Amino acid sequence: MGFRDWANRVMLIFLVFSALILALSVGKVRYMQNHPIASIPNPPVWSEYPQVQLQSAKVIQNQPFLSANTKFWRYRTTEVFTQYRPNCEFIPIHPSNYGERYAQDINGVPLKNEAIIVLHETSSSASSAINFFQTPHEDEKVQASYHTLIKLDGTVIYLVPPQKRAFGAGNSVFVGANGIETVQTNPTLPPSVNNFAYHASLETPPDGRGDNHIQSHSGYTQAQYNSLAWLIAQSQVPDERITTHRAVDRSGQRVDPLSFDFNQFFDLLHTFRQLRSSI
């Protein structure tokens, strides 16, 4: 084989490999266009939220939902926490009423928001709210859900897993130590806190139902406060990032939870969880 033939074969092989590499690169670009990074769930945030605990007849161990490596967690539950055992239920809702947590917003900006907890009330009975969440809703402006709902008797109802994005707040913003926080994940809807929020709701007492314009009612039961504090004691969300639907709402239409006693709630929360002595 002459040198020229050998060189031609080498050049041909080089061109074949170059074409293959180019084809693979184009294929990857097209795949990324059809599968944007924003659709990838963002797990670090939800791990700080309360996890599902269906243990109404069991003793809960201290921090059962944490991994073996707990040195980076700021809170630990207390002995008082282990002694409180509310009834717990898991009731699945329709998938149209919740979604994934995103790693990027609609502009491709990586999302690194710290977790928050948003407190709500149902404005109706617990069964009515659950029926609504179990009903399919194609209209994205109607879709709604909470992660958990606490009935008047203190029963904790898990509706949406914490790793999923509940549709608890529409046009909403959280203002905290990090400034203004909100995320837009849908170009047709206003930005909201849903992507980094855990939504917990209290069942509205009978005297607070049926009138969307009332400014107060008789308040929540002691069992509800106990169960809410028990639930949030299992999270790593600090006090200053626990807020209300009224505080984050930017539509001017949400005022819940009405008649909420923050002093009573935080007194109970601090009884159920404490800061670790060393982090």
The secondary structure of residue 156, as a DSSP letter, is E
Under a CB-based contact definition with an 8 Å cutoff, are residues 237 and 88 in contact? Answer: no
Residues 167 and 30 in one domain: no
**Tens digits of per-residue pLDDT, 226-254?**
999 999 999 999 999 999 999 999 998 89
Q: Which helix (H) or strand (E) holds 242?
A: strand 242-244
pLDDT reading at 74 higher than 80: yes
Residue percentage of the chain with pLDDT more than 70: 76
Poorest-pLDDT segment among 66-70, 179-183, 251-255, 256-260: 66-70
Residues 164 and 217 in one domain: yes
Q: Report the distance separating Cα 275 and Cα 174, nearest Å.
A: 24
Position 72 scores a pLDDT of 62
**Tens digits of per-residue pLDDT, 80-130?**
999 999 999 999 999 999 999 999 999 999 999 999 999 999 999 999 999
CATH number at 169 reads 3.40.80.10
Residues 81 and 195 in one domain: yes
Q: Which residue has better confidence, 66 or 72?
A: 72
Task: Print the domain residue range for 13.
Answer: 1-35
Residues 120 and 203 in one domain: yes
Q: Report the distance separating Cα 60 and Cα 240, nearest Å.
A: 26
> Which pLDDT band, with edges at 50, 70 and 90, does 42 fall under?
very low
What residues contact residue 171 under an 8 Å CB cut-off, 6+ apart?
190, 191, 192, 249, 250, 251
Q: How far is CA 85 from the centre of its chain?
A: 23
Residues 101 and 9 in one domain: no
pLDDT reading at 195 higher than 60: yes
> Which pLDDT band, with edges at 50, 70 and 90, does 214 fall under?
confident
Residues 52 and 116 in one domain: yes
Residues 9 and 112 in one domain: no
Residues 262 and 206 in one domain: yes
The overall average pLDDT reported for the chain is: 83
Poorest-pLDDT segment among 23-27, 158-162, 197-201: 23-27
Residues 196 and 92 in one domain: yes
* Residue 96 DSSP SS3: helix
> Which pLDDT band, with edges at 50, 70 and 90, does 60 fall under?
very low
**Overall size of the chain counted in residues:** 279
Q: Which residue has better confidence, 25 or 224?
A: 224
pLDDT reading at 26 higher than 50: no
Residues 195 and 271 in one domain: yes
Domain count, the chain: 2
Give burial (CB, 10 Å; 0-12/13-18/19+) of 34: exposed
Residues 53 and 168 in one domain: yes
Residues in a beta bridge with 89:
157
pLDDT reading at 213 higher than 90: no
Q: Report the distance separating Cα 220 and Cα 230, nearest Å.
A: 15
Position 157 scores a pLDDT of 98
Residues 45 and 107 in one domain: yes
Q: Which residue has better confidence, 41 or 48?
A: 48
Position 238 scores a pLDDT of 96
Three-class SS of 198-240: EEEEECCCHHHCCCCCCCCCCCCCHHHHHHHHHHHHCCCCCHH
Position 56 scores a pLDDT of 40
For 155, other C-beta atoms within 10 Å of its C-beta total 18
Q: Which residue has better confidence, 59 or 137?
A: 137
Give the HSE-up count for residue 34: Cα atoms under 13 Å, Cβ half-sphere: 6
